[in-house]
Each structure stands twice: as C-alpha cells, then as structure tokens.
Amino acid sequence: MASTTARLDLDGNTINPMTICMIGAGGFIGSHLCEKLMQETPHTVLAVDVYNDKIKHLLEPDSLPWAGRIQFHRLNIKNDSRLEGLIKCSDLTINLAAICTPADYNTRPLDTIYSNFIDALPVLKYCSENNKRLIHFSTCEVYGKTIGSYLPKDSPLRQDPAYYILKEDVSPCIFGSVEKQRWSYACAKQLIERLIYAEGAENGLEFTIVRPFNWIGPRMDFIPGIDGPSEGVPRVLACFSNNLLRREPLKLVDGGESQRTFVYIKDAIEAVLLMIENPARASGHIFNVGNPNNEVTVRQLAEMMTKVYSKVSGEDSIETPTIDVSSKEFYGEGYDDSDKRIPDMTIINKQLGWNPKTSLWDLLESTLTYQHKTYAEAIKQAIAKPLAN
C-alpha cells in the first residue's frame, strides 16, 4: 500500500506525487514497475502499450486501492498522434518499448532497428520539445563483446578485469560485422543512446539511460504454445522454463559457454524507483543495472535451473537434462553472441547507493515456483490434447 507519510528522496527532500507516461508498460519490466509504483508510491501511471495482459491485475477491478492512479492507453507508438499529448501531461516519460528478443535480431533486423531506433525518435522529440524528463531503457548489449574475447585464448590478460568489466564511461562498444545481424539491436540502441546524450548536451534534455544486465523473474516473455506462438523463441529464462515444464532437454547454444550475470527483477526495479525519485542524482547519467555476483555460463545456468525445478516441482530431472545445438540451427544465419557481461557498479553505487541483494539460486527458486504454478497444468493439458484427438 502507498504510505500516507511523506516520501523523502536520498537527500531528505519531499517527493511530490508525479505523473509518469510509461511506454511499454505492458511488458515484463513495465509490469513490475507499475506494480511497484502502485503498491508503494503515490505516483500516477499513464500505461502505454499494445498489450495489457501482464498488468490486468493492476487495472481491474475498480475497487483496487490504486484505482484512478493507473490508466491504460492501448496505442502503438509507431503511428499514434495521442502520444505527444500523453507525454505533455506527464512529469516524466519512461520508454521501455522495444523488440528485445535475440531470436528476432538476425531474423527480423528491419523490425528490430525500426523498433529500437526509429520508433523511439518521436518519444525523444516530444520530451525535448516539451522540456520533459526521459528515462530511456537501453541495454548492456551496447557493450557488445569484451576486449578480452579478442585476446589469444591462453593470454593471462583475459583474467584482468580491465579486459572484461563493462563500465559506462570507459568501455568501448564492440560489435561483429554487418553480416552478423545479431548486432542490429545493439547498434540501434547505441545510436538512440547517442542521440539522447546529444539532446542533453546541446538542448538541455533531462535524461537517464538504463542498461539492464539480464533482469529475470516472473512474467518474463512467454511459454511457447501456451501464452505465445508455438514456434516463438523467447529469452533464455523462458526457453529453459519451457523445456523443464515439458520435460525436454535444455538446449545449449554453441556449447553454452557464454557467460551472463543475472539480476532479480525485484532488485532491479528498486534501482529504477531510485532513478524516478532522485532526478538530481540520476539525470545526465547512464547506469548499468545488474548483479556482478551472479555470473554463470549458460551451461551452469541450465544445470542450476534443472536442480531448482526438481526442488520446486517435486519431479526428478530427466535422464539427459541438456543437449548441444549450433547457433545456426537454433537462431539461424547471422547470429553471434556476447561472450561475457559483468557490470561495473561504481556509478550507480555513487549516485544512488543501490546494490542488488538476491542470489541466483534464490531468484531462480522464486521464479521457477511461479513458472510451475502458472504453467504446469496448461502444459499437461496441451501435451495430452493431441493424444486425446
């Protein structure tokens, strides 16, 4: 429940209730952010998206304690003149809208580039022209590959953090060749970051850029054939959850050697709330938001998810829990991968005093408990249906 006592920012100033235009509010991150804002703050959200399934529980019924503080506007920002009005009547715009599933980057590069660059242009223009603050969601993928990945395999420098830690104001952005269309997303995100930064420098736009490092938790993406297309390929959490629910081996792309750091969505949302409520500390900054302590290879992630799922479902794991697949087979031509992603946390620590709390095991336990509760029965029925016919 939103407390009735005045909310104070990190410098002890009263936080006044604000109106937030949240674009992409119906997605994974948006749904958690809306939940947090409704349950713990007095702010109002104009939730913009083409879908609202993931925030339905916040919109209905009218008797909810925050009714009147959240309005859903079903619109596509590609072509809807209502967008400017919504930004104009808000204090802050948060842009989350994007195509952000790697399976699309090499197979739908045009949609990916339009979504992540062209479609973000009007949002930036309306914020700049109307002197409105913007929090824009970019990605850790703008760093691309680490410098260390280009060193010889046996080089001792590969162990030196200077060659792999990703730091907002220092690290270069290293992408593969244009034929490797995987990088269409990173490149579009990088260019919109540069444009936002330039609007800040030349026209005084008040902005914050967020670079999420693999935020995961309930409601991420979809389970193919249940609440998304059967042939769709979501991000790794949903792919592996789907395999576990269906008792199929988890597919390790190119040996599952890539490394990732995973952060629990609820920890990451705390960081976003600090940005929202501390504009003086957040504006003009680019923030890594991730958990450097939760690093695993994709293979280790698969092994851990298999163990955790056995625990929460009470089912033994299958005899062959993982299989190797080539990236070409899994994603098609033009796929490439980020080798390693460890966020430097200096800037977010200094500006907002934020640190993630949840271990990988704990976040997988709560997320897989949710996946099991939400999908196990539907999967059982889906599997039984063809047999019954």
Residues identified as active-site: 185
Provide the β-strand partners of residue 95.
Answer: 23, 136
Of 326, 313, 298, residue with least CA distance to 372: 313
- Residue 371 binds to ligand UDP (criterion: CB under 6 A): no
Binds ligand NAD (CB under 6 A): choice among 45, 46, 98, 275: 98
Buried residues in 297-335 as b, exposed as e (16+ CB within 10 A)? bbbebbbbbbebbbebbeeebeeebbeebebeeebeebb
Options 116-124, 232-240, 303-311, 355-363: segment touching ligand UDP (CB under 6 A): 232-240
Q: How far is the CB of 184 from ligand NAD (least distance, A)?
A: 13
- Residue 193 binds to ligand NAD (criterion: CB under 6 A): no
Residue placing its CB nearer to ligand UDP in the complex, 148 or 200: 148
Per-residue mark of binding to ligand UDP, 250-279 (x: CB under 6 A): -xxx--x-x-x-------------------
Pairing of β 295-297 and β 322-325: unpaired
- Residue 21 binds to ligand NAD (criterion: CB under 6 A): no
Options 39-47, 90-98, 245-253, 300-308: segment touching ligand NAD (CB under 6 A): 90-98
Structure token pair of residue 380: 């059982």
Q: Which residues contact 349 (CB under 8 A, 6 or more apart)?
A: 355
- Residue 207 binds to ligand NAD (criterion: CB under 6 A): no
Q: How far is the CB of 213 from ligand NAD (least distance, A)?
A: 7
- Residue 73 binds to ligand UDP (criterion: CB under 6 A): no
Distance CA 138, CA 160 (A): 27
Q: Which residues contact 80 (CB under 8 A, 6 or more apart)?
A: none
Work out the angle at residue 47's Cα, subtended by the Cα atoms of residues 43 and 50, and round it to the nearest 5 degrees.
170
Residue holding tokens 């967008």? 83
What is the sign, positive or negative, of the torsion defined by CA atoms of 272, 166, 218, 265?
Answer: negative
- Residue 235 binds to ligand UDP (criterion: CB under 6 A): yes
Q: How far is the CB of 164 from ligand UDP (least distance, A)?
A: 16
Distance CA 372, CA 282 (A): 37
- Residue 298 binds to ligand UDP (criterion: CB under 6 A): yes
Provide the β-strand partners of residue 166.
Answer: 343
- Residue 71 binds to ligand NAD (criterion: CB under 6 A): no
Q: How far is the CB of 266 from ligand NAD (least distance, A)?
A: 13
- Residue 233 binds to ligand NAD (criterion: CB under 6 A): no
For residue 244, give Cα distances in angstroms to 11, 122, 137, 216.
46, 41, 30, 17
Binds ligand NAD (CB under 6 A): choice among 78, 82, 311, 350: 78
Pairing of β 44-49 and β 19-23: parallel
Binds ligand UDP (CB under 6 A): choice among 236, 244, 273, 360: 236
- Residue 51 binds to ligand NAD (criterion: CB under 6 A): yes
- Which residues contact ligand UDP by CB under 6 A? 102, 141, 214, 235-236, 239, 251-253, 256, 258, 260, 298, 337-338
- Which residues contact ligand NAD by CB under 6 A? 24, 26-30, 49-51, 76-78, 96-98, 100, 115, 119, 137, 139, 212, 214-215
